[in-house]
Chain A
């Protein structure tokens, strides 16, 4: 229920920022060669001559009827602009998150169960390298190595086949792997020193069972939080990966729209981002309840 005021607030803020930052969409569209009368005509057509609050009001009145309007740049319906790109973004964010979980959680667990061992140090180095590596640089190196030198995968694009997904998924997932590994290691270390773990050990429960059934499950809540945050960030913040791999995602749409001051598209994209974040938060909350039955009993 909080969602509607949140969405409203977000659109007001974004609209405010768009209005306060310099730049006239008409000049951006027509360029430096444009005569004044052409600029005036375009501003009229785009409704830019109306006062700011009227422009916002007109937009809001439409949104209430689920009409997102049309891009002022291309004339395409905003819903088309977004639905054309959303699947690419969601796919990539999901794959990258799955990869990050598949690599990050085991790596974190192994590090925590053998603290200060060679494995732990290696995992730490890998994690920090992943965090420190600029996405831009990593993407280009991966393309050079795996597409050009080895020829295993296509350099860029999303033109069908699974092979197009490999390099962007790894590139996008790397920093999430690092974050999840570090968080898993830290919480696991803490959990493994709890009394119930010592009790289990003294009862003679097998170490493997202790790690995965007792400790990991209890350590999962902060890890799930990090995964949720990472997933949200990957959904909305994959602009660089999308650019390098010519991936038709929504991050680039947002940047292009902001640059050309394509207000209806910016608002549409921001609402989608807000909805996605809200959805990810909801899923994370549901997972908490599943992981920690005490939460379920408290609220039911």
Chain B
């Protein structure tokens, strides 16, 4: 079988007019490891995307398509059977079996593994191989967004025999997947090389080789692209992106991210326990200015808690208008006409500090005097989880592109503190809706459920809704077929170079 595929690939290569080329891609950091159960960082995920497959694939349009699973059936509300694709081989030539799938997901789920991405599948209670080609997954209750979760990088399928044999060396010295590219070498902080996997189950990749180069300095990454030393640069900084837009030999490939920036209030602490105060601050701060000044216009103000790329987004939401007059009026109604003092917390992220400074100035206009306090990252997370804050600036990435992931942990009253609801705000009806969204399979019903939930959340204003950002990727004009993925983990199989 493998021989036949190789021959077919050779024929396609000979007649397809394709030429051998290497694609050089640069991102801001090096990988940590290519073991999806040891890390959940973006740079590693972007390489793993090329090396591994998942049962379900989420396209750039966020459509869920069959990946290593060709079909799935739901036996009851919590039990799913996945039928595996036949003829799939790992890079070492071993065939993919149901036991590899069960092994991979169980390893991810096992608390002893300590996988940073375990939370993605934590609703799963059991994974077992029913026969060679069928996997049964049982969740701890109805869980509609399961498919989106299984498309996440951390749910990549590994080879049981390879992982077991490699032990601690898996992911850094030994890496084997079923994806369109296979691991060749990794020179730490220098370059990581992948070669096309000729026996790939789908269409083979166009590039013969992909080289990932970590270039930390954003400006240097941009210069490398301008100089033609790299073909694709991920995540250009706004200033460099502005410069790049005027270059004829560079093509911008921006993408609206699934992540969201917000300022959380402590809804159980005075004066933020009063909805009028929270609404007033939403009116007092101009998110447009923040986007223009800090993100050089690369992004847009948010109307609600999730971005337009997320399934379930309610595009009828009205954003809070920048209206200091209305803000003053609301504060007056709340008995705070004379203003009050508060503290804005942020971690040492320079952009967030700038956001805090803009907020400070705008809040002063409505009589609110805000101090800014910068905290070290893990202290920041600990103390906001403990509810010690007034206001804090944070982001949230809806990594599965499903509203459940973007809303449940952040607004369900069972999730106070470190699970995600750091604003300690709850609403019975919102709880009901978020629970229903998990139970309901029908997509249209889910849309209606989440639309209502978002309206209530915007009205309750546990957050100051700030902005959704745009990631500025760019390619040389010789590159075609690069479609950035909203999760930031771009597929490179279909990218070609002239």
Q: Which residues of A contact B (CB under 8 A)?
A: 21-24, 27-39, 41-42, 44-46, 70, 73-76, 80-81, 84-85, 88, 140, 143-144, 147-148, 151, 154-159, 243-249, 252-253
Residues of A within 8 Å of B220, CB to CB, are 140, 143, 155-156, 244-246
Q: State whether B418 touches A74 (Cβ < 8 A).
A: no
Residues of A within 8 Å of B377, CB to CB, are 23, 28
Knowing A24-B382, A33-B420, A34-B116, the reply to whether A74 touches B224 (Cβ < 8 A) is: no
Nearest CB in chain B: distance from A87 CB, A: 11
Knowing A74-B33, A156-B224, A159-B190, the reply to whether A246 touches B217 (Cβ < 8 A) is: yes
Q: Mark B385-398, 1 if CB is under 8 A from A, else 0.
A: 00000000010100
For B32, give its contact among A73, A80, A154, A157 (CB under 8 Å): A73
Q: State whether A151 touches B227 (Cβ < 8 A).
A: yes
Nearest CB in chain A: distance from B158 CB, A: 14
Q: State whether B223 touches A155 (Cβ < 8 A).
A: yes
B11 at the binding interface (Cβ < 8 Å): no
Knowing A33-B409, A70-B168, the reply to whether A27 touches B381 (Cβ < 8 A) is: yes
Knowing A73-B32, A246-B220, the reply to whether A158 touches B40 (Cβ < 8 A) is: no
Knowing A41-B111, A157-B190, A248-B189, the reply to whether A36 touches B418 (Cβ < 8 A) is: yes
Q: State whether A248 touches B188 (Cβ < 8 A).
A: yes
Q: State whether B223 touches A27 (Cβ < 8 A).
A: no
Knowing A22-B376, A156-B220, the reply to whether A42 touches B114 (Cβ < 8 A) is: yes
B161 at the binding interface (Cβ < 8 Å): no
Residues of B within 8 Å of A45, CB to CB, are 112-114
Residues of A within 8 Å of B180, CB to CB, are none
For B219, give its contact among A73, A140, A252 (CB under 8 Å): A140
Q: In the complex, what distance in Å separates the CA atom of A44 from the CA atom of B40?
A: 19
Extra pairs beyond A75-B38, A84-B188, A157-B229 (6, CB < 8 Å):
A38-B118, A147-B223, A148-B226, A246-B213, A246-B217, A247-B189
Q: State whether A34 touches B216 (Cβ < 8 A).
A: no
Contacting residues of chain B (114-165) with chain A, CB-CB under 8 angstroms: 114-116, 118-119, 122
Task: List the 4 shortest-distance A-B pairs measured between CB atoms, nearest first.
Answer: A248-B189, A41-B111, A42-B114, A45-B114
Q: Mark B229-252, 1 if CB is under 8 A from A, else 0.
A: 100000000000000000000000
Q: In the complex, what distance in Å separates the CA atom of A163 from the CA atom of B446?
A: 58
Residues of B within 8 Å of A144, CB to CB, are 223
Q: In the complex, what distance in Å separates the CA atom of A159 from the CA atom of B26?
A: 14
Closest-by-CB residue of A relative to B44 is A74
Residues of A within 8 Å of B382, CB to CB, are 24, 27
Closest-by-CB residue of B relative to A244 is B217
Q: Number of residues in B with C-beta < 8 Å to the partner?
A: 47
B22 at the binding interface (Cβ < 8 Å): no
Residues of B within 8 Å of A143, CB to CB, are 220, 223
B402 at the binding interface (Cβ < 8 Å): no
Closest-by-CB residue of B relative to A80 is B172
Q: State whether A31 touches B217 (Cβ < 8 A).
A: no
Q: In the complex, what distance in Å separates the CA atom of A44 from the CA atom of B113?
A: 10
Q: Which residues of B contact A (CB under 8 A)?
A: 32-33, 35, 38-40, 111-116, 118-119, 122, 168, 171-172, 187-191, 213-217, 219-220, 223-224, 226-227, 229, 376-379, 381-382, 394, 396, 409, 418-420
Residues of B within 8 Å of A21, CB to CB, are 376
Q: State whether B226 touches A34 (Cβ < 8 A).
A: no
Residues of B within 8 Å of A245, CB to CB, are 220
Q: In the complex, what distance in Å separates the CA atom of A247 from the CA atom of B188?
A: 10
Closest-by-CB residue of B relative to A21 is B376
Residues of B within 8 Å of A248, CB to CB, are 187-190
Residues of A within 8 Å of B38, CB to CB, are 74-75
* Count: A-B pairs, CB below 8 Å: 136
Closest-by-CB residue of B relative to A245 is B220
Closest-by-CB residue of A relative to B395 is A32
Residues of B within 8 Å of A158, CB to CB, are 190
Knowing A74-B32, A75-B168, A246-B217, the reply to whether A81 touches B114 (Cβ < 8 A) is: no
Nearest CB in chain B: distance from A256 CB, A: 9
Q: State whether A41 touches B420 (Cβ < 8 A).
A: no
19 A-B pairs in the complex with CB atoms less than 8 angstroms apart: A22-B378, A28-B378, A30-B116, A31-B116, A32-B381, A32-B418, A35-B122, A36-B419, A38-B119, A41-B111, A73-B32, A74-B33, A75-B33, A75-B168, A140-B219, A156-B220, A244-B217, A244-B220, A246-B190
Residues of A within 8 Å of B40, CB to CB, are 30-31
For A24, give its contact among B118, B378, B420 (CB under 8 Å): B378
For A35, give its contact among B119, B216, B226, B381 (CB under 8 Å): B119
Q: State whether A38 touches B33 (Cβ < 8 A).
A: no
Residue of A144, A159, A246 ringed by the most chain B CB atoms within 10 A: A246
Nearest CB in chain A: distance from B406 CB, A: 11
Q: In the complex, what distance in Å separates the CA atom of A32 from the CA atom of B409?
A: 11
Nearest CB in chain B: distance from A97 CB, A: 22
Residues of A within 8 Å of B116, CB to CB, are 29-31, 34, 38, 42
Nearest CB in chain B: distance from A109 CB, A: 36
Q: State whether B114 touches A41 (Cβ < 8 A).
A: yes
Residues of B within 8 Å of A246, CB to CB, are 189-190, 213-217, 220
Q: In the complex, what distance in Å separates the CA atom of A269 from the CA atom of B90?
A: 37
Q: State whether A156 touches B215 (Cβ < 8 A).
A: yes
Nearest CB in chain A: distance from B118 CB, A: 5
Closest-by-CB residue of A relative to B170 is A75
Q: State whether B114 touches A46 (Cβ < 8 A).
A: yes
Nearest CB in chain B: distance from A27 CB, A: 5
Residue of A156, A245, A248, A252 ringed by the most chain B CB atoms within 10 A: A156
Q: State whether B217 touches A243 (Cβ < 8 A).
A: yes
Residues of A within 8 Å of B215, CB to CB, are 156-157, 246
Nearest CB in chain B: distance from A106 CB, A: 32
Nearest CB in chain A: distance from B357 CB, A: 23
Residues of B within 8 Å of A29, CB to CB, are 39, 116
Residues of A within 8 Å of B418, CB to CB, are 32, 34-36, 39
Closest-by-CB residue of A relative to B188 is A84
Q: In the complex, what distance in Å separates the CA atom of A245 from the CA atom of B219?
A: 11
Q: In the complex, what distance in Å separates the CA atom of A36 from the CA atom of B417?
A: 10
Q: In the complex, what distance in Å separates the CA atom of A159 from the CA atom of B39?
A: 27
Q: In the complex, what distance in Å separates the CA atom of A23 from the CA atom of B383?
A: 12
Nearest CB in chain B: distance from A67 CB, A: 13
Closest-by-CB residue of A relative to B410 is A33
Residue of B113, B122, B171, B220 ringed by the most chain A CB atoms within 10 A: B220
Q: In the complex, what distance in Å separates the CA atom of A143 from the CA atom of B224?
A: 9
Nearest CB in chain B: distance from A47 CB, A: 11
Knowing A45-B112, A75-B172, the reply to whether A252 touches B223 (Cβ < 8 A) is: no
Closest-by-CB residue of A relative to B216 is A243
Closest-by-CB residue of B relative to A81 is B188
For B227, give its contact among A22, A37, A148 (CB under 8 Å): A148
Closest-by-CB residue of B relative to A33 is B119
Closest-by-CB residue of B relative to A242 is B189
Closest-by-CB residue of A relative to B394 is A32
Q: State whether B111 touches A37 (Cβ < 8 A).
A: yes
Residues of A within 8 Å of B122, CB to CB, are 35, 38
Q: State whether A34 touches B168 (Cβ < 8 A).
A: no
Closest-by-CB residue of B relative to A38 is B118
Q: In the complex, what distance in Å separates the CA atom of A74 from the CA atom of B381?
A: 22
